[in-house]
Amino acid sequence: MDKSADYSGGLQFFAESIPHIVWMARPDGSIEYFNQRTLDYAGLAAGELSDWGWLTLIHPDDASLAEETWKQALQRGGSFAAEYRIRKKDGKYYLHQARALTMRDSNGQIQKWVGTWTDIEEYKRAERGMGELVAIVESSDDAIVGKTLEGIVTSWNQGAERLLGYSAEEMIGQSVLKLIPEDRLEEEAQILGRLGRGERVDHYETVRRRKDGRLVDVSLSISPIRDGSGRLVGASKIARDITERKRAEQSLRESQNRFESVIDSAMDAIISIDEAHRVVLFNAAAERMFGCSAAEALGQTLDRFIPPRLRSAHRKHVRAFGATGLTSRAMGKLDALTGLRSDGREFPIEASISQTEIGGEKLFTVILRDITERKEAVEALSRSEGQLRGLATRLQRAREEEAIRIARELHDQLGRCLTTIKMDITLIEQMASVQPTAETIGSIPEKTRLMLEAIDETVHVVRKISTELRPGILDDFGLAAAIEWQAKDFQRRSGVLCILNVPQEDLDVSREQATAFFRIFQEILTNVARHSKAGKVWVHLEVRDGMVALEVEDNGVGISPEALGRPQALGLLGMRERAAVFGGSVEIAGIPGKGTTVVVCMPNGGPTHENSDR
């Protein structure tokens, strides 16, 4: 019995019983057998495919390559594998994988080839689909990660590598917990619990840790992975980097906070109302201005902050402004307005108004400024101008009086002395023009003595007038010495005891400052003599905290607050004006029955100013 024939018969029986295309070839490569499935698939008879007829089933574009690779396998005598398209009986071509092995005798000689053609069209289509899916996954900017129910990473795309810093080699097979911050580890169990209940997890915002330790904000979308039986076997996570969005949201919040801070830090009240005049914005300045919290004001009508007699007119004005189409009207362009505080008090305000449209609805924003202080300042300025005019008149009158006094002294005293000297000189001249007698010669020494006395008196008068105009001691020895001299002169003339505490060395003040201090001190002593009825005056001159301070205190009747505020108190105003020229101040305080204290302060070594010695 031929064993090879039995073996071939067995192969054919096997080939006919399996659902695959099976063929057998001779050692030279010609086909001697195709199973019935091949004939059914191709719709041809065995004779049409025998020998090399099978090449007619191959797609024309693949035929030459199929023949070449088959012949190369015949030459090598090894196994054969190739892929090419084969025509089905419907005329369409489908990709197949061809494989063949040799059958050899005991001497190793090839007896025949046994091969198969396997339809791999669906597999290749699935492979292409998988390739496309892989390409999509790999090209995605999002991190796409597969994991088991135990949290072991099974897939890791390039997006995950970019987002989290780990390569696929570093993460596949590792626990996903290494990506989760310690304070968020419970999230993983919660997510798996939701997946187990058949839920999807969409846009779950959380934080993950990168390889370099930095935290990154992510949005997770998680889907279950199930096997063929529908059993949950893992999860697929898509993580999107939302750092920029979070940063934008933070910037938006910060911008909103800055806007609110600007609105709340504004010195002016800012109120926005809708078309029904309901308050929708009420800043901190508005709270202070009207004495009403924003919580109370929001939703209320603006009428609450307007006196009843003016509400109708105000509504008409807002409607008229809305109809103009203007976006704004500047501060001061509106008529004088009046506001109403929560306690019922009315006060003057200045306002600007603007309008905008949001979502088809108009909003009006009013910026209000309380001008109570400005009006008071204007009134105070008017009073001050009146006082300054009075002071200027007083100074002019003082100059005229000083000029009259000097003219009188020049005429009465200096003129008398000069007239006496002239008369004596004339008499001597007459005596010299005639023959002198013994009596005449004897009278010359007496005449000379009288002339010298007249000259001495003239010098004294000149010095007195000069000192009264500007004491030379102020220029020669400085402010401290001049204050001491003036105090002693005042004590001598008035009988009021002056107790001095002045530095031995001169102070660092400019000539103009020294003059201002001296004139103010003279004015203080004049007021003491005229009004205080004091018996003692304490004078203290020193440098304190970079300021030169002159403090004068008396034990007189004490000036009253009413007297300090009188417009007629031009002497006090003059002292303040002299000090203000140098950035200084004059403070006056009195206690009835106990005396008055005047403190004059100016910066040490201040600038010079013209006309300060007048």
> Per-residue pLDDT for 432 more than 80?
no
Rounded distance between C-alpha atoms, residue 380 and residue 386, angstroms: 10
CATH number of 472-603: 3.30.565.10
Place of tokens 């693949």: 62
Report pLDDT for 140. Answer: 75
- Give 368-380 pLDDT, tens digit per residue: 888 888 887 877 7
pLDDT exceeding 90 applies to what percent of the chain? 14
Q: Which residues of 326-350 are buried (b: 16+ CB within 10 A; e: fewer)?
A: eeebeeeebeebebbeeeeeeeebb
> Per-residue pLDDT for 395 more than 80?
no
Q: What are the angstrom distances between the C-alpha of 371 and each of 78, 268, 285, 346?
A: 107, 10, 14, 12
Report pLDDT for 203. Answer: 85
Report pLDDT for 599. Answer: 94
Report pLDDT for 442. Answer: 72
- Give 508-545 pLDDT, tens digit per residue: 888 888 888 888 988 898 888 888 888 999 999 998 88
Rounded distance between C-alpha atoms, residue 194 and residue 204, angstroms: 12
Residues in Cβ contact with 120 at an 8 Å cutoff, skipping those fewer than 6 apart: 83, 95, 96, 97
Cα-trace Rg, the chain: 58
String of DSSP letters for 508-548: S--HHHHHHHHHHHHHHHHHIIIII--SEEEEEEEEETTEE
Residue 153 contacts residue 171 (beta carbons within 8 Å)? yes
pLDDT band of 245, cuts 50, 70, 90:
confident
Rounded distance between C-alpha atoms, residue 456 and residue 468, angstroms: 18
pLDDT exceeding 70 applies to what percent of the chain? 82
Range in 88-92, 164-168, 242-246 with the lowest mean pLDDT = 242-246
Mean pLDDT of the chain: 81
Report pLDDT for 539. Answer: 94
What are the structure tokens assigned to 573, written together?
């105003």
Beta-carbon count within 10 A of 83 CB: 15
> Per-residue pLDDT for 573 more than 60?
yes
Report pLDDT for 537. Answer: 93
Choice between 279 and 197, residue whose per-residue pLDDT is larger: 279
Mean pLDDT, range 311-340, rounded to an integer = 72
> Per-residue pLDDT for 253 more than 90?
no
Report pLDDT for 597. Answer: 93
What homologous superfamily is domain 140-247 in, according to CATH? PAS domain (3.30.450.20)
Helix axis angle, 479-494 relative to 511-527, nearest 10°? 20
> Per-residue pLDDT for 1 more than 70?
no
Range in 243-247, 404-408, 435-439 with the lowest mean pLDDT = 404-408
Rounded distance between C-alpha atoms, residue 465 and residue 417, angstroms: 14
> Per-residue pLDDT for 333 more than 80?
no
Q: What are the angstrom distances between the C-alpha of 191 and each of 171, 216, 235, 390, 507?
A: 20, 19, 10, 88, 84
> Per-residue pLDDT for 3 more than 50?
no
pLDDT band of 129, cuts 50, 70, 90:
low
> Per-residue pLDDT for 15 more than 90?
no
- Give 154-183 pLDDT, tens digit per residue: 988 888 889 999 998 999 999 888 898 988
pLDDT band of 389, cuts 50, 70, 90:
low
Rounded distance between C-alpha atoms, residue 325 and residue 332, angstroms: 19
Rounded distance between C-alpha atoms, residue 28 and residue 113, angstroms: 9
Mean pLDDT, range 195-209, rounded to an integer = 83
> Per-residue pLDDT for 285 more than 50?
yes
Rounded distance between C-alpha atoms, residue 433 and residue 304, angstroms: 107
> Per-residue pLDDT for 579 more than 60?
yes
Q: What are the angstrom distances between the C-alpha of 174 and each of 154, 160, 170?
A: 8, 14, 8
pLDDT band of 475, cuts 50, 70, 90:
confident
Mean pLDDT, range 317-342, rounded to an integer = 71
- Give 459-469 pLDDT, tens digit per residue: 766 666 666 66
pLDDT band of 407, cuts 50, 70, 90:
low
Report pLDDT for 514. Answer: 87
pTM above 0.75, yes or no: no
Q: Which CATH number fits domain 266-370: 3.40.1170.60, 3.40.50.720, 3.30.450.20, 3.40.718.10?
A: 3.30.450.20
Report pLDDT for 169. Answer: 92
**β-bridge pairing 201-209 and 328-329:** unpaired
> Per-residue pLDDT for 426 more than 50?
yes
Mean pLDDT, range 127-151, rounded to an integer = 74
pLDDT band of 80, cuts 50, 70, 90:
confident
Its CATH architecture, for the domain 3-125, is 2-Layer Sandwich (3.30)
Beta-carbon count within 10 A of 238 CB: 20
